[in-house]
Chain A
Amino acid sequence: MRHLLSTADLSHAEAVRVLDVAEQMAATQQREIKKLPTLRGRTVVNLFFEDSTRTRISFETAAKRLSADVITFSAKGSSVSKGESLKDTALTLQAMGADAVVIRHGSSGAPLRLARSGWTSGAVLNAGDGTHEHPTQALLDAFTLRRHLVGGGDAADRVGADLAGRHVVVVGDVLHSRVARSNVHLLHVLGARTTLVAPPTLLPIGVETWPCEVSYDLDAALAGDVQGPVDAVMALRVQLERMDAAYFPSAREYSRRYGIDAARLGLLPPHASLLHPGPMNRGLEITAEAADGARSRIVEQVTNGVAVRMAALYLLLAGEDA
């Protein structure tokens, strides 16, 4: 791997390898001394053209735990707000000697442009681009699912395992979600089935070509009527800031038909988990009772995010081909 731009680029072996390395990284994060010397002297630039809390902090933590130097660059308060282009920003970072660029951008394809253009010689990690992909989020979701669904709780049982035969329901604003697209591709590569559930207005054009099933009925999907019993359900954030039109009649109607609450979780088998990429709109796509309940893995997802991003940085930066 040279860059991490999209989960659609990952082979089965590469995806499993990221999860396996993340497993070892997670183990180091249980120790008193969490810092490793692995990327000492390397520079990681966080280039955030869009607001983000947990992804930016997660990447920053991951890079620092591996002893890399971290420069965080937010569009607000930088020359980007004076109209500097992506190219000029990238050339500036290259001149400063960035070994890796973690980029979040509002435009789909910006990380690919950066990786292909030759403006920077470093590895490019996509931290979310427009409505396209968010590969590290999908990897941390898969990592969280593997921890709960595979093996008897011993890390050694999970090494090398994928999610073959598992079934994940993803419900919510698929249209604006880069998380959904990344998850559909990654879960498919890992052998799991995915069912997307959303109102027709919140599904993107071309969703029928994705490797998943689509349903408009959440209760049927959760009860196992679409693709069999469900191992996990992932609620997506309703991205009100991207909504330029009325996609559903009212928030109350949306949460009644597509919101996750305790009653809906009751339809699931006892082992099933609840995930959410955050930040949550409590009361809209998820109730507080569900988000804070026993099935919720939402806080754990944040913890796992650091381990997965450490693995991604390690695999892209540590070896001779980096």
Chain B
Amino acid sequence: MAGARPGEVPPTTPAAHPRSATVLDAAEVSRALTRIAHEVLERNKGPRGLVLMGVPRRGTHLARRLAERIAQVEPAFDAEACTGSLDVTMHRDDLRRNPTRTPEPTRLPATGIDDATVVLVDDVLYSGRTVRAALDALSDLGRPRAVRLAVLVDRGHRELPIRADHVGKNLPTSTAERVFVHLAETDGEDAVLIEGPTGEPTEGPTEGEDR
């Protein structure tokens, strides 16, 4: 996972985007994740049969962080063994509209996902098309008992009948705005930024937008 992928925009700092505003800072991201972890446990009535599947790349890191928080509350929960990552590239419906993406690894927990409660984790929920692809990818891997969706930011503008079960922050946006999620693992800091339509144009789609 280390190293920039071909065609990827290098991590941008807030200073590089003078027109971007910070919506969530590091402490707020941390509090949102803690709350989501508790909500997931509450909804599932405990950690039994829980599997967290992150959508690469930032969703994978968020899933791992959620699992660590769940393990702090419920010591019986094995964070490492119940976390995975789910690449949706091969299931996307917009492959022909974008430059070719390199697929990321899919990692399943050793126990698989059959009859588990799978919580899909992603950074930004936008059109819902990534989640649609993730549901398809998931059904090729097994048959979970239930699938739930946790996102750090829900920015609206759904194009499919999909909603999130657990949301870090609802962020009303216009489609002309861009939302960036920065995580310490990939960008060196935890923050959610929003950039206005007059912001500096960046090349190509960045993770955390166009969703």
B6 touches A321 (CB 8 A): no
25 contacts between A and B (CB under 8 A): A17-B6, A20-B102, A21-B103, A24-B104, A24-B105, A25-B103, A27-B106, A28-B90, A33-B141, A35-B140, A36-B140, A66-B90, A155-B105, A156-B1, A156-B105, A159-B105, A314-B100, A315-B100, A318-B95, A318-B100, A319-B99, A319-B101, A320-B96, A320-B97, A320-B98
| Cα distance, A155 to B103, chains bound together (Å) | 13
Q: Which residues of A contact B105 (CB under 8 A)?
A: 23-24, 27, 155-156, 159
Q: How far is the CA of A36 from the CA of B136 in the complex (A)?
A: 10
Q: Are A38 and B6 in contact (CB under 8 A)?
A: no
What's the least CB distance linking A123 to chain B, in Å?
A: 12
Q: B91 on the interface (CB 8 Å rule)? A: yes
Closest to B108 in A: A31
CA of A36 to CA of B104, assembled, Å: 15
**Would you give the 0/1 interface string for A2-17, flagging 1 where the beta carbon is closer than 8 Å to chain B?**
0000000000010001
Residues of A within 8 A of B95 (CB): 38, 318-319
Instruction: Flag whether A288 is at the interface (Cβ < 8 A).
Output: no
Closest to B104 in A: A24
Contact present for A322 and B90 (CB under 8 Å): no
**Interchain CB contact under 8 A, B140 and A31:** yes
Residue positions of A touching B, CB distance < 8 A:
13, 17, 20-21, 23-25, 27-28, 31, 33, 35-38, 66, 155-156, 159-160, 314-315, 318-322
Interface of B is mostly: loop
Cβ–Cβ contact A36 & B91, under 8 A: yes
Residues of A within 8 A of B100 (CB): 314-315, 318-319, 321-322
Q: What residues of chain B lie closer than 8 Å to A35, measured between beta carbons? A: 140
Q: How large is the interface on B (under 10, 10 to 19, 20 to 34, 35 or more residues)?
A: 20 to 34
List, in ascending order, chain A residues with CB within 8 A of B10's CB.
none
Contact A320 B99 (CB under 8 A): yes
Q: Which residues of A contact B6 (CB under 8 A)?
A: 13, 17
Q: Can you name 10 extra interface pairs (CB under 8 A) apart from A319-B99, A319-B101? A: A13-B6, A21-B103, A36-B90, A159-B105, A318-B96, A319-B96, A319-B100, A320-B98, A320-B99, A322-B96
Interface residues of B in 84-99 (CB under 8 A from A): 87, 90-91, 95-99
B91 touches A319 (CB 8 A): no
Q: Which of B102, B106, B141 meets A21, CB within 8 Å?
A: B102
* Contact surface of B with A, Cβ cutoff 8 Å: 1, 3, 6, 87, 90-91, 95-106, 136, 140-141
Q: How far is the CA of A216 from the CA of B98 in the complex (A)?
A: 50
Q: Which residues of A contact B98 (CB under 8 A)?
A: 319-320
Q: Once bound together, how far apart are the Cα atoms of A319 and B100, in whole Å?
A: 4
The listed residue with most A CB atoms (<10 A of its CB), out of B1, B3, B90, B101, is B90
Instruction: For the complex of A and B, list the 7 residue pairs with the smallest distance between their C-beta atoms, beginning with the closest.
Output: A319-B100, A24-B103, A36-B90, A33-B140, A38-B90, A318-B95, A319-B99
Q: Roughly how many angstroms separate A13 CA and B3 CA in the complex, as a whole number?
A: 14
CB-CB under 8 A from A27, the residues of chain B are 105-106
The answer to whether B99 touches A37, judged by C-beta atoms less than 8 angstroms apart, is no
Chain A residues in 8 Å Cβ range of B141: 31, 33
The reply to whether A38 and B140 form a contact with Cβ atoms under 8 Å apart is: no
The reply to whether B91 and A37 contact each other, CB–CB distance below 8 Å, is yes
Q: Across the interface, do B87 and A321 meet the contact criterion of CB distance under 8 Å?
A: no
Q: Within the complex, what minimum Cβ distance (angstroms) separates A29 from chain B?
A: 12
Chain B contacts for A33, CB-based, 8 A: 140-141
Q: Is the CB of A37 within 8 A of B102?
A: no
Assembly CA distance A174 to B87 (angstroms) = 41
Cβ A37 vs Cβ B3 within 8 A:
no
B1 cross-chain contacts in A, Cβ below 8 A: 156, 159
Kindly list chain B residues whose C-beta atoms are within 8 Å of the C-beta of A13. Answer: 6
A17–B7 Cα gap in the complex (Å)? 12
Question: A318 to chain B: which residues have CB within 8 Å?
Answer: 95-96, 100
- Kindly provide the distance from the CB of B94 to the nearest chain A CB, expressed in whole angstroms: 9
**Min CB distance, A306 to chain B, in Å?**
15
Give Cα A23–Cα B1 distance, bound, in whole angstroms: 13
Q: Collect the chain B residues with CB atoms within 8 Å of residue A17's CB.
A: 6, 102
Closest to B4 in A: A160
In the bound complex, how far is the Cα of B91 from the Cα of A37, in angstroms? 6
A262 to chain B, nearest CB (A): 38
Interface centre among A28, A156, A318, A322 (most CB of B within 10 A): A318
B101 to chain A, nearest CB (A): 8
Contacts of B87 in A (CB 8 A): 24
Closest Cβ–Cβ distance, residue A113 to chain B (whole Å): 26
The smallest C-beta distance from A46 to any residue of chain B, in angstroms, reads 22
Q: Which of A31, A38, A314 contacts B91 (CB 8 A)?
A: A38
Q: With A31-B141, A156-B1, A314-B100 as given contacts, are A37 and B106 in contact (CB-CB < 8 Å)?
A: no
Instruction: Specify the chain A residue showing the minimal Cβ separation from B142.
Output: A32
